[in-house]
Amino acid sequence: MPHGQQENASRSAESSATPSLSGVLDKLGSAGDDDRVTIGEILDNVGDRSLAPILLVPALVTASPISGIPGVPTLTGIIVALIVVQMLMGRDTLWLPARLSRQSIARSKMQKAVAFLRKPVAWLDRLMRPRLCWLADRPWIYVALLICLAIAVTTPVMELMPFVITIAAIAIGFFAAGILMRDGLVVLIGYAFVGLLIYAAVKVA
């Protein structure tokens, strides 16, 4: 292969290997083949090389109109808790109970959620880059993960407060995105949304 073609192929391979929020969203939208898509199919499609993009999935779902379906925020909260616990344990692959993996949602609703998230996710992709990487690495990453776990276990209560649960999902989404892209500034934005979450919860309560 000529040298120029080798360089182009190399650049293409690097680009395809670079993680992106839009890439996670694409995999979220293309999971499964039937009228209903299961949690297991979604997570399998995202892949298990790292748990950070998998943590992004329930956050994206909860930040979309799907969160208006009764029980969905609680379900995604359970998934977040399981993912975070396994990240804290240092696991690279995700284990979910079979019963949870079989839970499903209509493909049409998932496609609408993906379409709803497409523009804001693409906007974030353009802004994100590796910076303040120490905030997205150990040991500081544990602080963000413990906050995500605290949010997850209180999700059943927050499900009764639609605006609050959306803020909670956005906070987890920023943490997951910052860890995935090694963007400490985005992790800091996650902390800011946690502050907003606490303020909103106190006001609503």
Strand partners, 38: 104
Which tens digits make up the pLDDT trace of 71-92? 888 999 999 999 999 999 988 7
CB–CB of 74/17 below 8 Å?
no
For residue 115, the Cα-to-chain-centroid distance in whole angstroms is 16
| Of 135, 202, 195, 205, residue with least CA distance to 167 | 195
Residue type present at position 172: I
CB–CB of 131/185 below 8 Å?
yes
Which tens digits make up the pLDDT trace of 17-45? 456 788 888 888 888 777 888 888 888 88
CA distance 97 to 168: 24
Q: Coil, strand, or helix at residue 129?
A: coil
Residue 74, both tokens: 């609680």
How many helical (H) and strand (E) elements, i.e. helices and strands, does the chain have? Answer: 11, 2
CB–CB of 73/193 below 8 Å?
no
Which tens digits make up the pLDDT trace of 58-76? 888 888 888 788 888 899 9
CB–CB of 167/175 below 8 Å?
no
Helix (H) or strand (E) run with residue 38 in it: strand 36-38
CB–CB of 68/159 below 8 Å?
no
The H-assigned helical ranges of 129-183 are 140-153, 155-158, 162-181
Which tens digits make up the pLDDT trace of 145-201? 999 999 999 998 888 887 899 999 999 999 999 998 899 999 999 999 999 999 998
Note the pTM of the prediction, 2 decimals. Answer: 0.82
